Amino acid sequence: MTTATATALPLFEPAQEVAGRPSFWSRALHSPTFMAGAVITATIVALVVLSPVIGRYSPDALDPLHPLSGPSALHWLGTDELGRDTWSRVLYGGRTDLQVGVLAVIFPFCFGVFIGTVCGYFGGRLDTIVMRVVDVVLAFPFYVLIIALVFAVGVGTHGIYIAFGLTDWVVYARTTRSATLLARNLDWVAAAQGGGLSRARVLWRHILPNTITQAIVYSMSDIVIVILAVVALGYLGLGIQPPAPDWGSMIYDGQNFLQNDQWMAVFPGIAVVFTGIGLSLLGDGLADVLRPE
Amino acid sequence: MTPFLEVEDLVVEMRRHGAAFRAVKGVSFSLERGDALALVGESGCGKSLTLRAIMGLLPSGGRLLSGRIVLDGVELRGGLRGRGRGYHQGERMSIVFQDALSALNPVATVGSQIAEAPRHVLGLGRRASVERALELLHLVGIPDPERRYRAYPHELSGGTRQRVMIAIALSSEPALLLCDEPTTALDVTIQTQIIALLADLRVQRGLSLVFVTHDLSVVSQVAEQLAVMYTGRLVETGPTATVLAEPRHPYTAGLLAAALDVDTPEREPLAIPGSIPDPLRLPSGCTFHPRCGLATPECVSTDVFLAPVGFGHCAACLHSSQLAAVQGAGRA
Amino acid sequence: MPETVPVPGAVPTTGTAVRPGPLLELDKISVSFVVEHGRVLRAVDSVSFQVGKGQVLGLVGESGCGKTTVAKCVVGQITPSSGVVRLEGRELGPKRTTEERRALQMVFQDPYSSLNPRMSVRHVLSELLRVHRLVPPGGIEDRCRELMGLVGLPPDALGGLPGQFSGGQRQRIAIARALAVEPRVIIADEPVSALDVSVQATVLRLFEDLGSRLGLTIVFISHNLAVVRHLSSRVVVMYLGRVVEEGNRESVFSDPRHPYTHALLEAAPRLHQTELVQPVVKGEPPSPIDIPTGCSFHPRCPRAEDLCCRERPPLEQVDIGESHLAACHFRKERFADFARQASPGRSEDL
């Protein structure tokens, strides 16, 4: 049986294009979630970074003539009971909080991803030991651990960094380990090893880019978690110590004035909420954009 | 005589990544009682969706836009939400899927799954439905039915699981059996057993059969009628033997030329140039034209429909007579 | 292409050209796992065969027969419990050297999991070329283009990620990856089973091409007899971890000497067959944990006798001097006259 249509095979298929994959930025620009998150976060970061410029007063400057004043031309967001300008304090407080948030997450991220990858790939005794440690840490309620550690190590930012460093890595370790376990059995890993590439190369250059996505996305919301924890610590006097402004202590201080001078607590609160929204949307958006389809 | 099953102008819309497209475009066919039709095509041609549309079990994202399905004179309306057909007396059809392991409930014994329809659809009592399940296990050729009744799907081998699926399908006493690639995942020696079983059941129970597959080489053992699908449309229909011996659509001819036959190893398989188009960006006119050696400008501009090319044999091609001439010349 | 391979143990007669040994040799490879309750699962049981340079060896069997496990032993992914793999006479140990790993490359079945979703084609190929210093740094891009050309893909495919390609194209990329390291043997594990029919033809032609043009040695694993018969020059049939038949393609296919091979041939679907094929074997393969005594095929075998239950038949020549081997007590019998022509069967309504 012959057919007029199927030809002796040209292995080449010139008519067929390889559908181009839009670049990262193109995909990012088309993801509403990512854009929303990026815009909000970028705005907040910009404002906070520019605080010396747009903050009209020093955060510690007292204006004894206008304590507890509402929003006005002189003080855009009002003043607290000591006459300190709320707008400036929100901006400088943002600096403190965002800085602490990001720095407190970096070490857990790096260490957690590293140890999770190693455990997932090699298994064995190391895996067993590390996972038991993870189980122990996760067994404690998060805030209990943080508070206990800050209390033990000492208050202030260094205490916060140490407390998070010791406890926050477990989530990254676990998610990365699961992702690595899954990836380890896939054919393309076998192919990479079979191609004569060293195990280290396969692990860090081939497997890791595929397993790190969840960790990256989680780190965004982790920053928010840290900021909220710092706020909570502030309530117990274990947070950022005065006179450095931070949103948590501002909200705490403003509690007493909620009846009449709500702005003292409300504005920092709004700042926390917006930061949380921005980072969460950014994290979600990243998850979408990083998916390798 | 009105046909037993009549499918008219079925149109199914699918949504993928937010874009909607017609995965099944105006498929029509009919089947006499006791007959079998093989629906053949490659991945993405819409054959499984056609089956599911008939059964009322479209996946999420799928929507039946239009079409009539008449079974034994009764027009089938949309099933109740979440339930396929076969759950109502009078809509007497069942479906057998490709992968028994994912189609069976992993936490229920196979016996209870077979007994479910007799109990809840046919209204038999508990003991009677267990009896019926044991009968069916025996009917589908599973040895030691009492012991197997209590087995869980993962404890059984692939072929046995497929037989269980067939037993479940038979348990609601259907007149029509829809099979979606039931032997594709099975070893070839087991495949012959399942095909023989289906043939037996057709004879014993007068079952009608619609058999979806991508494997042209099994259809001649399974069904007397053959329908070939490409990008959601039927491109050729007719008696199996005729279509396989004298295809009148270039796609069918291409599939046959690409197939390898174990008895003729010297023959070089010829690939069909190009590849299956993206359903969101289908070529105009006859969707096969970019890959077709007989294409003319007319093929690009006009929509092509099934037209008779022989007794009971239809093809959707403007140049089917030319194809016939080429084949005739090739044979001379 | 060499048609015959020296039979293990056969004494070469004078006048026969002294052949260098086979390129790839498996010598009594066995793989066992201990599963729950201390029972042993013998995935592969004493499998031996040889592949000559430039040959295409077809490894046939249904699911559970151990062919993928054998493939993994060859490339070193799994260490056999016993037995050795030899490349050009040299034994390959459990820890392979880089050269040894390069020499044996695998093409996998599932085109959707055999490529790193986050690596562009160029990255995959160039990394291999660089790490193994196969071309000077300036020549890497050119070599990548060459490799694309070998598998019939356009050069701008290099910039793409796997997600942008169809199944057939991904398999071609996988083949290009295997070729990049200049292997001696390619082990293709069901490379076309997951592809559409029209695409299968393309990839099969590619394998044929590579075999004839580049003189590649290929071990082609498949459950599809038609494909194996088309491509291979020598065939090995496996069942439940053991080799049951081995020989040149035409000997095995036209004159099978093991009932299982005969059953596979009977069961292979044929395009124009209108009579229903009656199954030759009953039942299903048992679990590899409970391999039957004696000949593992005897519970399903239409020819089985008491002897088959007691004694395991050795894999031996079917006739003196033949390179056709079968593991059946009745290997001297011809199970069917397998001269089936491609003429359509009688038209008979089912």
In angstroms, what separates the C-alpha of C165 from chain A's closest C-alpha? 7
**All domains of chain A in start order, with CATH:** 47-290 (1.10.3720.10)
Question: Among the three residues B141, B173, B205, which one is the final residue of a domain in this structure?
Answer: B173
CA–CA dist B234, A3 (Å, integer): 20
Mutation test of the interface with chain C: which of A1, A7, A18, A204, choosing the one with the most C Cβ atoms within 10 A? A18
Number of domains in chain B: 3
Which tokens go with B332?
Answer: 């001379």
CA–CA dist A83, A75 (Å, integer): 10
pTM, whole model, 2 decimals?
Answer: 0.83
> Could you report the per-residue pLDDT of B290-303, keeping only the tens digit for each?
999 888 999 999 88
Residues of C in contact with B101 (CB under 8 A): none
Which tokens go with B272?
Answer: 């069909």
* Residue C243 belongs to some domain of the structure: no
Distances (CA, A) of C112 to A47, A53, A193, B274, C168: 46, 54, 18, 20, 10
Residues B156 and B296 in one domain: no
CA–CA dist B21, B23 (Å, integer): 6
Q: How confident is the model at residue A77 (pLDDT cuts 50, 70, 90)?
A: confident
CB-CB contact of A231 with A265 (8 Å): no
Range in A107-111, B2-6, B214-218 with the lowest mean pLDDT = B2-6
> Could you report the per-residue pLDDT of A95-109, keeping only the tens digit for each?
888 888 899 999 999
Contacts of residue C348, defined as CB under 8 A and 6 or more positions apart, other chains included, come to C274, C275
**pLDDT score of B332:** 57
Distances (CA, A) of B172 to B50, C35, C125: 22, 40, 56
Other chains touching B, judged by 3 or more CB pairs under 8 Å = A, C
Residues B59 and B180 in one domain: yes
Residues B5 and B85 in one domain: yes
Contact between C174 and A191 using a beta-carbon 8 Å cutoff: yes
> Could you report the per-residue pLDDT of B310-321, keeping only the tens digit for each?
899 999 999 988
* Residue C90 belongs to some domain of the structure: no
Number of domains in chain C: 1
Contacts of residue C95, defined as CB under 8 A and 6 or more positions apart, other chains included, come to none
* Residue C229 belongs to some domain of the structure: no
* Residue B18 belongs to some domain of the structure: yes
Residues of C in contact with B255 (CB under 8 A): 197-198
Residues B195 and B320 in one domain: no
Contact between C278 and B275 using a beta-carbon 8 Å cutoff: no
> Could you report the per-residue pLDDT of B269-286, keeping only the tens digit for each?
888 888 888 888 899 999
Contacts of residue B102, defined as CB under 8 A and 6 or more positions apart, other chains included, come to none
**Sign of the CA dihedral running B218, B224, B230, B236:** positive
Range in B23-37, B149-163, B224-238, C316-330 with the lowest mean pLDDT = C316-330
Q: Which residue has the tokens 């004493």?
A: C46
Structural domain boundaries, residue B135:
102-173
Contact between A3 and B292 using a beta-carbon 8 Å cutoff: no
User: If you measure CA to CA, which chain B residue comes closest to A8?
Assistant: B270
Q: Find the CB nearest C271 among B193, B216, B269.
A: B216
* Residue B243 belongs to some domain of the structure: no
**pLDDT score of C336:** 63
Residues B28 and B138 in one domain: no
* Residue B232 belongs to some domain of the structure: no
Determine the residue type at C303.
R
Residues of C in contact with A14 (CB under 8 A): 154
* Residue B238 belongs to some domain of the structure: no
User: If you measure CA to CA, which chain C residue comes closest to A10?
Assistant: C152
Residue A3: pLDDT over 60: no
Contact between C223 and B187 using a beta-carbon 8 Å cutoff: yes
Residues B121 and B270 in one domain: no
Residues B49 and B187 in one domain: yes
ipTM for this prediction: 0.85
Structural domain boundaries, residue C296:
256-345
List the end-to-end C-alpha distance of chain C, in Å, as a whole number.
44
> Could you report the per-residue pLDDT of B69-97, keeping only the tens digit for each?
888 887 776 544 445 555 555 558 889 99
Residues B284 and B167 in one domain: no
Residue A19: pLDDT over 70: no
**pLDDT score of B212:** 95
Q: CATH number for the domain including B37?
A: 3.40.50.300
**pLDDT score of A129:** 96
* Residue B242 belongs to some domain of the structure: no
Residue A267: pLDDT over 90: no
* Residue C32 belongs to some domain of the structure: no
Residues B163 and B181 in one domain: no
Task: Report the DSSP beta bridge partners of residue C115.
Answer: none
Contact between A4 and B258 using a beta-carbon 8 Å cutoff: no
* Residue B237 belongs to some domain of the structure: no
Q: What is the secondary structure of C301-316 as a DSSP string? A: -TT--HHHHHSPPP-E
> Helix or strand or coil: residue C57?
strand
Residues B286 and B305 in one domain: yes
Residues B167 and B214 in one domain: no
Contact between A4 and B326 using a beta-carbon 8 Å cutoff: yes
What's the angle, vertex CA B190, arms to CA B185 and CA B196, rounded to 5? 115
Residues of C in contact with B268 (CB under 8 A): 205
* Residue C264 belongs to some domain of the structure: yes
Residues of B in contact with C63 (CB under 8 A): 158, 187
Task: Report the DSSP beta bridge partners of residue C197.
Answer: none
Contact between A196 and C132 using a beta-carbon 8 Å cutoff: yes
* Residue C199 belongs to some domain of the structure: no
* Residue C338 belongs to some domain of the structure: yes
Mutation test of the interface with chain C: which of B144, B263, B270, B275, choosing the one with the most C Cβ atoms within 10 A? B263
